[in-house]
Structure 1
Amino acid sequence: MITVFGEGRGFRVVWLLEEMRLPYRLRDVDMLAGVENDPEFLAINPGGFIPAIRDGDVTMVESIAIMEYLLGRYGPSPLAPDPQDATFPAYQQFLHLGEAGLAASVFFLTGARHFAPETDRDNWTVRQAMHVFTSRLGLVIRRLAEAPYMAGEVFTAADISVGYALEMARKNIDFALGEAEQAYLGRLRQRDGYRRALDACPATRGWWAS
């Protein structure tokens, strides 16, 4: 059975597993208590960050890489268009943009807002991170003016990637999402796979509801 270590971006992995109806076990990782006190997890990911998975003899880290692995190993799946499909370029772009352009920027903005000294909460690097986030968000907004989902007319794993990042922005940095983004998140939240994933992830459920 696949073991998912940690929530956070691990919610993306759990959501995908629920959409694919694959059996898994979620193993909590208490980052606040310190991963140095969790030797089992450090044996999986010596880098000490979440998420990670163990699937038989396979161990992997990085949420988007894990998603691509699961789709490749246990597919084909409608959640990942065939490379020859006309929707594949948009799917691939937004699958990665959800982390590299959106969630990664929100991560640093979260640290600046909640943990940095007061004098460092609006420095050059913080402003650059916000610029990266808003410029990439502009691509999402433009896409939503064309289609209901990132790859087009149907939901794919790219929406798991982008949707999670928008939830991060909404909750972690109190970013005011526009009507199109809010409606998009509303569509994602109605999915059975999303609801099952949220039921399986108590920390994420509490974080988004608080």
Structure 2
Amino acid sequence: MITVFGEGRGFRVVWLLEEMGLAYRLRPVDLLAGVEKDAEFLAINPAGFIPAVQDDDVTMVESIAIMEYLMARYGPTPLAPDPHDPAFPAYQQFLHLGEAGLAASIYFVVGARHFAPESERQNWSAGQALSVFESRLTLVTRQLARTPYLAGETFTAADISVTYALQLAQRAGGVTLGEAEHSYMARTSAREAYKRAMETCRSRKAWLAEAPLP
């Protein structure tokens, strides 16, 4: 049985598992309560961040790496185009852009906006992180002007990666997205696997329901 520790970016993993029809369980991790009190989780990931995955004797962290592992081990799957497929370069680029260029940048914006002292919420580093996010977002916007999904005509794991980042930016980062991104997220979030993942990730579902739109 595959065990996913934590929601947050763990939602990407849960959504992927639902798309692939793999059995799993979600083990909640309460970061706000303090992971130092969660010995079981720290035994899995001593660094104390989510998500983490246990699959038999395999333990992994980092959501994109976990997704690639699951697709390689339990594939083949259309969620990951073959390297010889013309869609593969765009798939690979946006799979990683969803974290390295988008979510990782907006994470620091969210932290400054919601958790920093009032006097530090408009700090230089948060502004730089937002600038990085906005520059990478132009790549998404340009691609969506060409194709309905980021690797082309077909939904892939790259769309899971980027949809998560766009939702985070919109709901917690104060980012106003354009019509292309709104239409795109409507398509990706209409998938049955997404809906099932939301029912599993109850905390995320409640957060999306409560988080204000900019």
- TM-score scaled to structure 2, two decimals? 0.97
How far apart are 1:65 and its partner, in Å?
0.2
1:140-163 deviations in Å (ceiling 9; x for gaps): 000000000010000000000000
Q: 2: distance between equivalents of 1:175 and 1:198?
A: 22
| Aligned pairs (5 A) from 1:1-210 | 1-210=1-210
Q: 2: distance between equivalents of 1:162 and 1:173?
A: 15
Q: 2: distance between equivalents of 1:174 and 1:126?
A: 12
Q: Which SS does the other structure have where 1:53 is aligned?
A: strand
Q: Which amino acid is the alignment partner of residue 180 of structure 1?
A: A
How far apart are 1:70 and its partner, in Å?
0.2
Q: 2: distance between equivalents of 1:3 and 1:151?
A: 29
Q: Which amino acid is the alignment partner of residue 25 of structure 1?
A: R
Identical pairs, percent: 69
**Structure 1, gaps ≥5 residues long:** none
Q: Which amino acid is the alignment partner of residue 137 of structure 2?
A: L
Q: 2: distance between equivalents of 1:122 and 1:86?
A: 42
How far apart are 1:126 and its partner, in Å?
1.2
Q: 2: distance between equivalents of 1:10 and 1:167?
A: 14
Q: Which SS does the other structure have where 2:25 is aligned?
A: strand
Q: Which SS does the other structure have where 1:110 is aligned?
A: helix
Q: 2: distance between equivalents of 1:173 and 1:100?
A: 16
* C-alpha RMSD of the superposition: 0.6
Q: Which SS does the other structure have where 1:50 is aligned?
A: coil
Q: 1: distance between equivalents of 2:152 and 2:45?
A: 35
Q: 2: distance between equivalents of 1:127 and 1:182?
A: 24
Q: 2: distance between equivalents of 1:175 and 1:195?
A: 24
How far apart are 1:174 and its partner, in Å?
2.3
1:93-126 deviations in Å (ceiling 9; x for gaps): 0000000000011110001001112222122211
How far apart are 1:127 and its partner, in Å?
1.2
Q: Which SS does the other structure have where 1:59 is aligned?
A: strand
Q: Which amino acid is the alignment partner of residue 164 of structure 2?
A: Y
Q: 1: distance between equivalents of 2:43 and 2:80?
A: 31
- TM-score scaled to structure 1, two decimals? 0.99
Q: 2: distance between equivalents of 1:24 and 1:177?
A: 33
Q: Which amino acid is the alignment partner of residue 99 of structure 2?
A: E
1:62-112 deviations in Å (ceiling 9; x for gaps): 000000000000000000000011110000000000000000111100010
How many residues are paired up? 210
Q: 2: distance between equivalents of 1:21 and 1:97?
A: 25
Q: Which SS does the other structure have where 1:14 is aligned?
A: helix
Q: 1: distance between equivalents of 2:51 and 2:87?
A: 28
Q: Which SS does the other structure have where 2:30 is aligned?
A: coil
**Structure 2, gaps ≥5 residues long:** none
Q: Which SS does the other structure have where 2:185 is aligned?
A: helix
